[in-house]
Amino acid sequence: MKMEKMKKKRVIVIGGGAAGMQTALRLARRGIEPVIVEKEAELGGKLRGWYVLFPTFTPASEVLNELRRRVHECGIETVLSAQVTGIAPRSVELADGRRIDGDAVVVATGFSLFDASVKEEYGYGIYDNVYTSVDIERMLGEGRVAKADGSRPKRIAFLHCVGSRDEKVCQQHCSRVCCITGVKQAMEMKRLFPDADVFNFYMDIRMFGPGYEEMYREAQQQYNVHFVRGRISEASPMLDGRIQIKAEDTLTGRPLRMSVDMLVLLVGMRANDDNAALAAGAGLRQSPSGFLAARDHFLGSVRSEVEGIYYAGTVTAPKNIGETLNEAAAAADAVAEALGA
């Protein structure tokens, strides 16, 4: 009995992104021994691909490096390049046949990005000068945003809701963060190319977070970014390499055609493909969008249907980074309480 109490509880955290790292840190602080299982060769998850974060333009590397530093400092055990294929309340199975045992499991596997080439009508991967919001983050990070031929864009169009709120591609849910990403990237484009015309084509603008609405206003008033309500129906290439887009301005009720130098598709957050297999194996529930379903929306938002399996971050629904970090702490607390640590 005494020996058992002395022995540290061990919790497996699946996923080494923002949610996974934060969960592990919090668990460690509560005297639990976390082990992070990450499928990539390094920690960081999607955060590694972002340049600066809305709404404060904080460099993503600041958050990422700080989280990594703390994980390293706490000496948290990490298993890298390890794909989880099965989850049980006290263990996880890896693709290479290994099994990791623990006292509880936190699923922090996050989301996948919508593959823009599925919306073939927008020409991603077919024409030059069609980009995704992820490409833009990378280009901003590399410090060279330009057209495919290296020249400066004079007109840029952002298209919202690519792979979100779109029944045609089986993605009914709202990915939430793309609206503000569109506003942020439009402002960054205006900073880089002050003479360029920047348009945002949207269905609704959903500014849900603190400071977002102010940022949206600033984009219009200070940066002169144009917002057009209406989705682009199709894009086609022009001889000079520009992209011709067809859309409808639904506020004026007029169809419009426009040629742009860059078309940026704001891709949505999609449930991971392996959620179904993991859920089926562990008896977890999936919501219709494919994300894993928490026990309830209120007091059980970090608990699964199965005792001993917890959730943190975007594995349950699209969230921004702040929400993800908070939820990770809540998940760690719930685990610690359940384990009596």
Interacting residues with other proteins (CB under 8 A):
118, 120-121, 123, 126-127, 167-170, 234, 236, 246, 273
Q: Within 10 A of 90 (CB to CB), how many other CB atoms are there?
A: 15
CB 153 within 8 A of CB 198: no
Question: Which residue, 80 or 238, is less far from other proteins as judged by CB?
Answer: 238
Q: How far is CA 195 from the centre of its chain?
A: 31
Token pair in block for residue 340: 């009596």
Question: Which residue, 142 or 167, is less far from other proteins as judged by CB?
Answer: 167
Question: Which residue, 144 or 168, is less far from other proteins as judged by CB?
Answer: 168
Residues in CB range of 162: below 8 A, 6 or more apart: 114, 116, 119, 122, 132, 178, 265, 266, 267, 268
Question: Which residue, 74 or 169, is less far from other proteins as judged by CB?
Answer: 169
**Closest separation in Å from C-beta 113 to other proteins:** 15
Question: Which residue, 112 or 326, is less far from other proteins as judged by CB?
Answer: 112
DSSP 146-196: --TTSPPPSEEEEEEEETSSBGGGTB-S--SHHHHHHHHHHHHHHHH-TTS
**Closest separation in Å from C-beta 62 to other proteins:** 36
Asked whether the CA dihedral 288, 309, 86, 70 is positive or negative, the reply is positive
Count Cβ atoms within 10 A of the Cβ of residue 73 and give its class: 0-12 exposed, 13-18 middle, 19 or more buried: exposed
**Closest separation in Å from C-beta 71 to other proteins:** 33
**Closest separation in Å from C-beta 120 to other proteins:** 5
The rounded distance, in Å, linking the Cα atoms of 87 and 14 is: 9
Angle among Cα 231, 115, 163 to the nearest 5 degrees reads: 35
Question: Which residue, 142 or 273, is less far from other proteins as judged by CB?
Answer: 273
**Closest separation in Å from C-beta 229 to other proteins:** 22
Question: Which residue, 96 or 273, is less far from other proteins as judged by CB?
Answer: 273
Helices 177-192 and 212-221: crossing angle in degrees, nearest 10, is: 40
The rounded distance, in Å, linking the Cα atoms of 104 and 334 is: 11
**Closest separation in Å from C-beta 110 to other proteins:** 19
**Closest separation in Å from C-beta 273 to other proteins:** 7
CB 50 within 8 A of CB 137: yes
Question: Which residue, 195 or 273, is less far from other proteins as judged by CB?
Answer: 273
**Closest separation in Å from C-beta 234 to other proteins:** 6
Helices 133-142 and 177-192: crossing angle in degrees, nearest 10, is: 40
The rounded distance, in Å, linking the Cα atoms of 245 and 228 is: 13
**Closest separation in Å from C-beta 42 to other proteins:** 26
Question: Which residue, 248 or 305, is less far from other proteins as judged by CB?
Answer: 248
